[in-house]
Structure 1
Amino acid sequence: MKILLKAVQIYDPTSSFHLKRQHVLIDQGMITYIGDDLQEADRVLDMEGLCVSTGWVDMYAQVGEPGLEHKEDIESLSQAAAAGGFTDVLCMPNVQPVVQSKGAINFLKSKSAALPVNLLPAGAVTVDTQGKELTEMIDLQRAGAMAFTDGDRPLQGAEVIVKALQYLQPFGGLLMNRPEHTRLTEFGQIHEGLVSTQLGMKGIPALAEEVMVTRDLQLLAYTGGRLHFSLISSAGSVEAIRQAKAAGLDVTCDVASYQVAYTDETMAPFDTNYKVSPPFRSHTDAEAIKQGLQDGTIDAVVSAHQPHDTESKKLEFDLAEFGIINLETAFAVANTTMAGILSLENLIEKLTSRPREILRLPACGIAKGAKACLTLFHPKLTWRPTQHSIKSKSTNSPFLEQELTGKVIGIINKGQLVLNHTF
C-alpha cells in the first residue's frame, strides 16, 4: 500500500529536509519519495500542522507479561506504545520469571515479532534482581538483550556495580541503574520536605538518589565502561552527572517525562495516582531537571510506564504501589509541562537520536530508500486522555481528563500503519 504524508514538517537533523514541509511517500514500508510534487497513493494523510520524525524510542517501560498479564501484556503494551508514538520500547526485566535467560529473551522477541512496535528486551544484571549474583550477561547479549538493568530494583552493592561494569566492557554492554539508597528511602512515600512533614508522611530524601549517583560515578571512573542512570529526579544528581560528563566519563541519563509536571507542593495529597518513584520533588529540583534537559546533561526522556491494577492503587496511600502509566501521554506531558523551556526540536532529539545512540540501535533516518520508521504528531493539538480512550490495561494516571498539548497521530513501522486519528 502506498501512503502519502501530505505537506508534513520533517524533524530529522540528519536529513536535508529537516524542518521543511514536504510530501513523503511510503510504499511497502519504504520511503520512496520526498519532495514538493504530489504523488499518487492509496492512502493520503492530510492534516494541517502534521509533523513527522524518525520513530521514538522509550528507554524505560514495564510490561507485565509473563506473570502479571492482568496489569499489562505484550499486546496491550504495544498498542499503548503505538498510541504514544513509540516504535521502539526497552522493556524492563521485572516480570515473573525475571528476564535472565535466553528463553525469556526469545519469548519477548517471538511474541512481539508481528506487532508494529519493536519491544526490546533488557536483561537482568543480577539473578532474580536480588542484587547479589550476576546473571550470564554475555549469553543474554548474544540472545538479543539490548541493555542490562535490574529495572525498578536499584543496585545497592558497590561490588556488583564494579563487577557488572567489568563484565560488560569486552562487548560494550550498557549497564543501567536507577540510583536509590533503599535503606534511606525505606517506608518513604513522597519527597522529603515541608509537605511530607505537614502531611505526616515518611519522606524520600533527594540524598538517597544523589549519594548513589556520586558513588556509581566514582566506580565508573575506577572501572571504565558504559553507565546509564534511569529516572533522575534531583538537582544534585543533575549537577554530579554534568561534572562527570565534563570529566570525560561515559555516562548518560534519562528522566521521566512527567517528572516536572508536578512538585511535592502541587500534587494532589493522598491521591495514589501521584505516587511515583522517584517522587515528584521540589521546585528547585524541577528547575534543575529543566536546565539539565536544555544543556544536554539529561540525554533522554522516557515514559517510565508502570501499569497497576485497581487493587494495587485504590488503597491507603502508604499501601499503594508506586508508578503510573505514561506510554500514551509521555510526549504530550513533556510538551505541555516543558513548553518555553525545551524546544520541540530538542524534545524530539531526546525521544529519537539520543536513545538510539545510547542503546546502539540501527540508524534511522527520513530519506529516500530508507525503511519507514516514523512517528506522526501534532505539537499544538490539545486533547484529554480518558479512561475509555487509553490502550493500556491499567488506568493509574494523574493525567486522565487533564488537557494536554501535543498529540501523537500515529506511527509507521515494520510496514504497518497505526493511526490515532481519523483522516
Structure 2
Amino acid sequence: MNALIKSATIVDSKSDFHNQTVDILIEKGRISKISKRISNPHNYDEIKLDNLHVSQGWFDSSVSFGEPGYEERETIENGLKTAALSGFTAVALNANSNPIIDCFADITLVKAKAKNKATSLYPIGALTKSSKSSDLAELFDMKNAGAVAFYDYQKPISNPNLLKIALQYSSAFDGLVLSFPQESKISGLGVVNEHINSTRLGLKGNPGLAEELQIARDLFLLEYTGGKLHIPTISTAKSVELIREGKAKNLNVTCSVAIHNLVLTDDSLEGFDTRYKVLPPLRTQNDCNALIEGLKDGTIDMVTTDHNPIDIEDKNVEFDYAKYGTIGLESAFGALQTIFTTKKTISLLTQGKARFGITETIVNTGQIANLSLFNPDGKYLFKKENIISKSKNSAFLNNELKGRVYGIIANNKIALK
C-alpha cells in the first residue's frame, strides 16, 4: 500500500514532528518520509481531508462483537469495519460469545475471522470454563494461541480462591488477569446506581459499595499472590481512591474506565430509556469528576468504549428485563473531546497497548504506518446515521459531540469514510 497524506497535523508527543503540519509519504505500508512538502512523482493515492490531524493508532481494551453465536448483534467483519472507521487500529475482543471463547481452538477461530483487516483484533480468553466461575480455563494454551488476557466479561469472580490461583498460575507465563469489580451479593438485583434517582424512579439500586468491596478484595489478593491484574471499567470515586492506594504499594495493577461513565450520569435515566442500562451503572456527577481526575493524574490507566452491541429485541423491553450494554466505538472520540483537550483525548485513546502486549507505533520516518486520521474541530449531534454497528444501542444518541473521525491507515490498508 502506497499513499501520500497531504497537510496533516501530527498529534503524537513521542514523534519528532509533534504539532507540525506536514506531508507523510507511505510506501509498502511504512512511513518513508515526513516533510513540509512532498511531491508525488509515482502518482500514489493522495489523501487530502479538511483540517486533517494524524496520530498513532488508537486502541480499545474492551469490545464485544457477538460472533460466534450472536451474529444478529454484530459480526467480527462489520465490528472491525466499525472500529476502523471510528479511528481504532487495534481492539481487544471479549470472550462473551456463544460458545464462550475459552480454549485454543476458539482463539484461533476469531483470529482467523479477523485476518487481513485494517484493524487488528486481539482476543481475550475466558478466565474460567464457559465463564461459569468454577474451573480455570485453558489459560496457557490460549496464551500460546494469541490471547492477550483472560476475563469473564462482566461476570464477577465470586470465589476469592479462584482468583488467587489464577493470579499465581498466570504469573508463570506473564499472563494478564481481569476481574470484573462487582460483589454480586451486594449488587443483588440492582439495575441502576443506588442513589436519589433510583429511589425517585422506583428502580432497584446497585450501590457503589458492591464495586468497591470487590476491588478492595482483589487488591488484597494481588498483594498476597503477585501476578498481573487489570480491573476493567471502574465507576466510583471510592474505586479511584482504592486503585490509587494499591499503586502506592507498587502492586502490579491497572484499571480502565468506560467513556460513558465519564460523560453521562444517572440523571439520564429520567425517561427509563434502556440505552442507559449499562454495567457498571451510570453514577453521579461526583463520581464522573473523580474518574476524570483519576485519568489526569494517572491513577486510571486507560479509557475504553466497552462497546457492547445488543439487538433491539433485548433492549426494547421493560427496563428491569433489558440487557446491559451500549455501543461506543463510533462516539468515543467525539465524547472524550467534550471533556478533554484534543492532546489529552489522543493520549487516552493510545494508552493501554503495552499492558495488553501490543507494540506502540510512533508517527516517525521508518515506522510502520499505524495511523488514526481525524478532524478535532466542529460540533455535531450524534444520530443513528452516524452508527456503523449492526446494533444501534448507543447511550450517546442525540448528544452533542465534538470532532469527527476519518478512519485509519494500518496493516497495509486504508480504511476511510
CA distance in 2, matches of 1:266, 1:153: 25
Shift of residue 161, structure 1, vs aligned partner: 1.1
Classify the secondary structure of the residue corresponding to 2:197: helix
- Corresponding residue of 2:309: 307
Q: Which is further off, 311-320 or 19-28?
A: 19-28
Classify the secondary structure of the residue corresponding to 2:282: coil
CA distance in 1, matches of 2:194, 2:243: 22
- Corresponding residue of 2:10: 10
CA distance in 2, matches of 1:385, 1:79: 19
The residue correspondences of 1:16-415 to structure 2 (distance < 5 A) are 16-40=16-40, 41-336=43-338, 338=339, 342-352=340-350, 354-415=351-412
CA distance in 1, matches of 2:196, 2:386: 37
Classify the secondary structure of the residue corresponding to 1:265: helix
CA distance in 1, matches of 2:51, 2:160: 50
Classify the secondary structure of the residue corresponding to 1:318: helix
Q: CA RMSD in A?
A: 1.3
What is the TM-score normalised by the length of structure 1? 0.95
The superposition leaves residues 225-245 of structure 1 with CA deviations (integer Å, 9 ceiling, x where unpaired) of 111110110001001101111
CA distance in 2, matches of 1:2, 1:93: 35
CA distance in 2, matches of 1:22, 1:35: 5
What is the TM-score normalised by the length of structure 2? 0.97
Shift of residue 344, structure 1, vs aligned partner: 2.5
Percentage of matched positions with identical amino acids: 39
Shift of residue 347, structure 1, vs aligned partner: 2.4
Assess if the C-alpha contact under 8 Å between 1:258 and 1:334 holds in 2: no
Shift of residue 165, structure 1, vs aligned partner: 0.5
CA distance in 1, matches of 2:46, 2:63: 32
Assess if the C-alpha contact under 8 Å between 1:257 and 1:331 holds in 2: no
Q: Which is further off, 386-395 or 170-179?
A: 386-395
Gaps of 5+ in 2: none
Shift of residue 48, structure 1, vs aligned partner: 4.2
The superposition leaves residues 309-339 of structure 1 with CA deviations (integer Å, 9 ceiling, x where unpaired) of 1100000111111111111111111112x1x
Classify the secondary structure of the residue corresponding to 1:239: helix
Assess if the C-alpha contact under 8 Å between 2:330 and 2:386 holds in 1: no
Classify the secondary structure of the residue corresponding to 2:32: strand
Q: Which is further off, 70-79 or 33-42?
A: 33-42
Shift of residue 114, structure 1, vs aligned partner: 1.7
The 3 A distance-change label for structure 1 pair 39 and 383 is: farther
CA distance in 2, matches of 1:398, 1:146: 28
Aligned positions, number = 415
Assess if the C-alpha contact under 8 Å between 1:55 and 1:87 holds in 2: yes
